[in-house]
């Protein structure tokens, strides 16, 4: 095995179950995030996961890992055939959503007699079910995230812009152990450490598939845009908690002085929906039905025009998290996923 920790064995075994169910003989894993998931560290190289038997790790860089029966140092991926009979494999999954076409072609040449499948969906499905260690690490990250959010009012100063405020929050997060990296699934998804929206900028649509937008700057049209913070403004802080390996995703809304009564009504409705989803999200619950129930509640409250955005409304009310901020499942009307116990 790649790690002596039983949690990593469980992850590989769950993935192997999915491979067997799909009648796929092996999976080649090349992305950083999935190396982290299955090996516990990032390296240049690949993991070879057979549907049956021991997973094998082939490392190009760094060369500091001790070799063993399952960990091998290589100069190029073509050396895979020195350790594995690649000619007899008839079906192989590759990370087709995570690589360049040139890299995919190179990997396909390793298995001349195989048909190929997209392994990205299998990996995302496996990561959707969290292991005990993953749950423990996510809870610890969320705990530290909450601690930092409680300090946010202390770094606000009158006369700040939204960008000034966000910089101070980012500094606060880094001081308390944030890695500073925002891992997100999807090649077209870009963001720094998170988003801060104030005033009318919160209603500005963004090209990215996040719940809210913000004008940002031309090179990153998302989030804060230099808006001056003033009395009577709401400020939404949505920063990624990455205090270790796993992510937490917490959004909090602060006010500078008093807001209109309608803002407090909608905020209370949001809190009610949050509590109701927590109560309803049990094993056997439909992700689509959770979304539909939220939509019914919002329509009944006359708040549909403000639900999950204004100008461009996101069609989901929640999502999974883990090694990336936007993991499966997604609470959307299009989802076919049913919640299950980890």
Express as a percent the part of the chain with pLDDT over 90.
Answer: 85
* Cα of 121 vs its chain's centroid, Å: 14
pLDDT of amino acid 39: 94
Q: Please compute the mean of the pLDDT values over residues 292-304 and round it to a whole number.
A: 95
Residues 97 and 143 in one domain: no
Is 80 exceeded by the pLDDT of residue 211? no
Residues 56 and 173 in one domain: no
Indicate the residue among 83, 109, 127 that finishes a domain. 127
Q: Please compute the mean of the pLDDT values over residues 231-245 and round it to a whole number.
A: 94
Q: Is residue 337 part of a domain?
A: no
Residues 109 and 229 in one domain: no
Residues 249 and 323 in one domain: yes
Dist. CA 157–CA 165, nearest whole Å: 8
Residues 117 and 136 in one domain: no
Residues 168 and 290 in one domain: yes
pLDDT of amino acid 308: 87
pLDDT tens column, 40-60: 999 999 999 999 999 999 999
pLDDT of amino acid 1: 44
Residues 191 and 296 in one domain: yes
Indicate the residue among 127, 160, 176 that finishes a domain. 127
pLDDT of amino acid 116: 99
pLDDT tens column, 81-107: 999 999 999 999 999 999 999 999 999
Q: Is residue 342 part of a domain?
A: no
**Count of the separate structural domains present in the chain:** 2
Is 50 exceeded by the pLDDT of residue 5? yes
pLDDT of amino acid 2: 57
Nearest CA to 294 among 314, 272, 265, 309? 272
Length of the chain: 342
Q: What is the mean pLDDT of the chain?
A: 94
Q: Please compute the mean of the pLDDT values over residues 247-276 and round it to a whole number.
A: 96
Give the predicted TM-score (pTM) of the model.
0.90
Strand runs labelled E in 99-149: 115-118
Q: Please compute the mean of the pLDDT values over residues 286-298 and round it to a whole number.
A: 96
Q: Please compute the mean of the pLDDT values over residues 135-143 and round it to a whole number.
A: 96
Q: Is residue 88 part of a domain?
A: yes
Indicate the residue among 112, 127, 142 that finishes a domain. 127
Pairing of β 71-73 and β 91-94: unpaired
pLDDT of amino acid 190: 87
pLDDT of amino acid 148: 97
pLDDT tens column, 142-190: 999 999 999 999 999 999 999 999 999 999 999 999 999 989 998 788 8
What residues make up the domain containing 137? 129-330
Residues 94 and 16 in one domain: yes
Dist. CA 16–CA 24, nearest whole Å: 9
Residues 123 and 260 in one domain: no
Express as a percent the part of the chain with pLDDT over 70.
Answer: 99
CA distances from 241 to 193, 265, 316 (A): 9, 28, 21
Is 70 exceeded by the pLDDT of residue 3? no
């Amino acid at each position: 095995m790649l790690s002596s920790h039983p949690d990593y064995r469980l992850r590989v075994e769950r993935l192997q179950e999915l491979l067997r169910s799909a009648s796929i003989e092996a999976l080649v894993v090349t992305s950083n995030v999935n190396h982290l998931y299955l090996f516990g560290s990032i390296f240049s190289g690949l993991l070879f996961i057979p549907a049956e038997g021991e997973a094998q790790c082939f490392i190009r860089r760094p060369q500091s890992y001790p070799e063993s029966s399952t960990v091998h140092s290589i100069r190029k991926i073509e050396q895979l055939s020195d350790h594995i009979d690649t000619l007899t494999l008839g079906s192989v999954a590759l990370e087709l959503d995570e690589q360049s076409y040139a890299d995919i072609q190179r990997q396909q040449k390793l298995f001349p007699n195989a048909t190929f499948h997209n392994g990205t969906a299998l990996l995302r499905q496996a990561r959707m079910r969290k292991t005990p260690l993953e749950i423990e690490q996510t809870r610890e990250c969320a705990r530290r995230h909450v601690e930092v959010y409680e300090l946010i009012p202390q770094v606000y100063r009158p006369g700040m812009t939204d960008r000034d405020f966000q910089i101070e929050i980012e500094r606060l997060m880094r001081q308390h152990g944030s890695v500073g990296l925002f891992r997100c699934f999807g090649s077209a998804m870009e963001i720094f450490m998170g988003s801060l929206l104030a005033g009318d900028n919160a209603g500005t649509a963004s090209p990215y598939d996040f719940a809210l937008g913000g004008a940002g700057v031309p090179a990153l049209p998302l989030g804060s845009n230099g808006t001056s913070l003033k009395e009577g403004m709401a400020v939404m802080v949505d920063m990624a908690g990455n205090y270790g390996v796993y992510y937490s995703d917490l959004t909090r809304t602060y006010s500078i002085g008093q807001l209109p009564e309608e803002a407090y009504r909608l905020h209370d409705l949001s809190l009610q929906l949050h509590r109701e989803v927590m109560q309803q999200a049990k094993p056997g619950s439909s992700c689509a039905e959770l979304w539909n129930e939220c939509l019914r509640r919002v329509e009944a409250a006359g708040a549909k025009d403000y639900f999950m955005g204004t100008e461009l409304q996101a069609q989901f009310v929640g999502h999974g998290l883990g090694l990336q901020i936007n993991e499966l499942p997604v609470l959307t009307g299009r989802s076919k996923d049913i919640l299950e116990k980890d």
